A = this chain, B = another copy of it.
Amino acid sequence: MNLRVTIKKIADVAKVSRGTVDKVLNNRPGVSDEVRKRVMEIIDALEYKPNIIGKALANQKKPSLIGMIIPSDANPFFNDIRKGVEAAYQELSDFGVKIDCRVMNSLDVEEQLSIIKYLSDQGISALALTAIDNPAICNAINTLVAQNIPVVTFNSDITGSKRMCFIGQDLVKSGRVAGELLGKILQGKGQIAVITGSHHILAHNQRVDGFKMVINKDFPGIEIVDTIENLDQDALSFELTWALLEKFPNLNGIFIAAGGISGAGKAVKLAGKGNAIKMICTDFIPNTIELVKEGVIDFAIGQDPFTQGYQLVKILYDCLFLGRGPEKEFFYTKIDIRIKENIESNLI
């Protein structure tokens, strides 16, 4: 009882060759309207579903290249994204997928543009990038899309482009979660401060906004006394945090929305307030993990970078081989809450 419907079956029923069926299935030219229509009907009637394995085997002759651009700014956590990409690549390499991953040396628009051009010249079939939110980049993306090269953004999105989808964190929500956590462990009372990277970076602002929304709405007994900018730099972060502690001796909570976590942690420890001040931060880099283990940082909120890398490859693969776009525009990865007891889990 072989109920599988194959191209051969369609061809037999329609009394045409398999090549012709293939043309109809994939909207290739070279079939008369009449035959196309007849074959079409049979395909529908028999509920034909293409077999991926067959497609993939035939595709071995012309492997497809996925281009990828990740920022240099190299939050070490981009390594976890690469691990996810690597895992997906292992699963899919036999399908004839190759990946060319380029790391930026700067955060320059010019550099990103030139990498996009380079990859385009290499003949990529798809592109994944942590986009710089700039009109020129937007144009470059749209040009690729116009050439039928799907583009996805990950980790950081670009507004108004024709990129297919975004894979990353719901930043506002991650800020909200931070707000609720800090509110809870302070039992709704006290003075807190926010440390952000830069007011010019959308991601940072979104986290801070989410955080403030929840504190202001759900924890009226908590006062946000200050919001400082550390430009993601540890040295500056240390200095500013130190000053903050002097200015507000009763401070009992800090939310760090971006980088410079190590610097802030050092200041808090040096002031002997590791226990008195509850701290919440984002992402799991080695310095952060250390501070969580020491008990200086109470909660670290991750964005599941592994899944970001893994899914971007999977989504692009689905698009290239199965010809189907993703079923939604935003793929939000887990808001991954960690504390001392599970900061270092080795999981699947």
| Complex interface: chain B residues within 8 A of A176 (CB) | 341-342
| Complex interface: chain B residues within 8 A of A347 (CB) | 332-334
| Complex interface: chain B residues within 8 A of A170 (CB) | 345
| Complex interface: chain B residues within 8 A of A339 (CB) | 177, 180-181, 184, 337
Whether A146 is near chain B, meaning CB under 8 Å from some CB there, is: no
A230 to B187 Cα, complex, angstroms: 29
A214 to B340 Cα, complex, angstroms: 11
| Complex interface: chain B residues within 8 A of A331 (CB) | 348
| Complex interface: chain B residues within 8 A of A340 (CB) | 180
Q: Looking at A214, A331, A337, which has the most chain B CB atoms within 10 Å of its CB?
A: A337
Given contacts A53-B94, A334-B347, A348-B307, contact A342 B185 (CB under 8 A): no
A248 to B69 Cα, complex, angstroms: 59
Is there an interface contact between B341 and A345, defined as CB atoms closer than 8 Å?
A: no
| Complex interface: chain B residues within 8 A of A334 (CB) | 334, 336, 345, 347
A294-348 contacts to B, CB under 8 A, are 298, 307, 311, 331-342, 345-348
**A51 CB to nearest chain B CB (Å):** 5
A6-32 contacts to B, CB under 8 A, are none
Whether A104 is near chain B, meaning CB under 8 Å from some CB there, is: no
A347 to B330 Cα, complex, angstroms: 9
Kindly report how many copies of this chain are found in the complex they form together.
2
Whether A57 is near chain B, meaning CB under 8 Å from some CB there, is: yes
A179 to B339 Cα, complex, angstroms: 11
| Complex interface: chain B residues within 8 A of A311 (CB) | 348
Is there an interface contact between B181 and A53, defined as CB atoms closer than 8 Å?
A: no
Per a CB cutoff under 8 Å, which of B180, B214, B341 touches A177?
A: B341
Given contacts A177-B342, A348-B311, contact A298 B184 (CB under 8 A): yes
A177 to B337 Cα, complex, angstroms: 11
Whether A173 is near chain B, meaning CB under 8 Å from some CB there, is: yes
Whether A60 is near chain B, meaning CB under 8 Å from some CB there, is: yes
Per a CB cutoff under 8 Å, which of B53, B185, B307, B337 touches A57?
A: B53
Is there an interface contact between B53 and A341, defined as CB atoms closer than 8 Å?
A: no
**A316 CB to nearest chain B CB (Å):** 14
List 17 extra interface pairs beyond A53-B94, A331-B348, A334-B334, CB under 8 A: A4-B60, A53-B53, A53-B60, A57-B57, A167-B348, A173-B341, A173-B342, A176-B342, A179-B341, A187-B187, A332-B346, A332-B347, A332-B348, A333-B348, A334-B336, A334-B345, A334-B347
User: Which A residues form the contact surface with B (CB < 8 A)?
Assistant: 4, 51-54, 56-57, 60, 94-95, 167, 170, 173, 176-177, 179-181, 184-185, 187, 214, 298, 307, 311, 331-342, 345-348
Give 27 pairs: A residue, B residue, CB < 8 Å, sorted on A. Answer: A4-B60, A51-B60, A52-B94, A53-B56, A53-B57, A57-B57, A167-B348, A173-B341, A177-B339, A177-B342, A179-B341, A180-B341, A184-B298, A184-B339, A185-B187, A187-B187, A214-B341, A307-B348, A311-B348, A331-B348, A332-B347, A332-B348, A333-B347, A333-B348, A334-B336, A334-B345, A335-B345
What are the 3 tightest A-B residue pairs by CB atom distance, in nearest-first order?
A337-B337, A52-B94, A177-B341
